[in-house]
Amino acid sequence: MPNDAKQSKEPELNIRLAAPEDFPEVLEIAWESLKENAFISPSLHKLAQEIWAALHKHHGICGVIGPSSGEIQGYALLRIGTVWYSDTPLVEEKAIFIHPKYRNAKGGRAKKLCEFSKRVADKLELPLIIGVLSNFRTAAKIRMYERVFGPASGAYFLYNARTGQPQVQADQQQVMEH
């Protein structure tokens, strides 16, 4: 088989740091992620603040994945903060999300964003707190996280709530207007 026939027709995936000009696209995909992952009513204003700060590297960073000259297919939103009992900084994963239309495509986008998150923590020499809070394909996500990060250090439980329940569809127009 000629080399040309072996080559994938999909463009090469790259992870890059999101920049302020990516704000509308990152905000849109982040809002999309809430359809699956939110378990209480989301605030567009709060979501925008978290993303805006990370895009300006103010106590955080946002990595995006996709072809170099194409749409953003997924993102990892990381913020620098502390836990309630310490002043020691850490990297806190706020979200890793792959747009549903790219989940079955080759390339391991979610794994690559997890590895990106590890590299950020390694470079900053800070611990990384990262997890799966989802009622959608949870077991598969946990297996992938365990392959990348090692054994889990606990579990999340939701009482009187389930991810993907809040109505975020009605507010979708707000995202498109900003």
pTM (predicted TM-score): 0.86
* Contact present, 164 and 41 (Cβ < 8 Å): no
CA distance 16 to 64: 6
Instruction: Indicate the pLDDT class of residue 1, thresholds 50, 70 and 90.
Output: very low
* Contact present, 77 and 48 (Cβ < 8 Å): no
Instruction: Indicate the pLDDT class of residue 29, thresholds 50, 70 and 90.
Output: very high
Q: What amino acid occupies position 149?
A: F
> What's the whole-number average pLDDT of the chain?
88
CA distance 13 to 110: 12
Mind listing the domains of the chain with CATH numbers?
A: 8-170 (3.40.630.30)
For 75-117, how does the pLDDT look when each residue is reduced to its tens digit (9 = 90+)?
Answer: 999 999 999 999 999 999 999 999 999 988 888 999 999 999 9
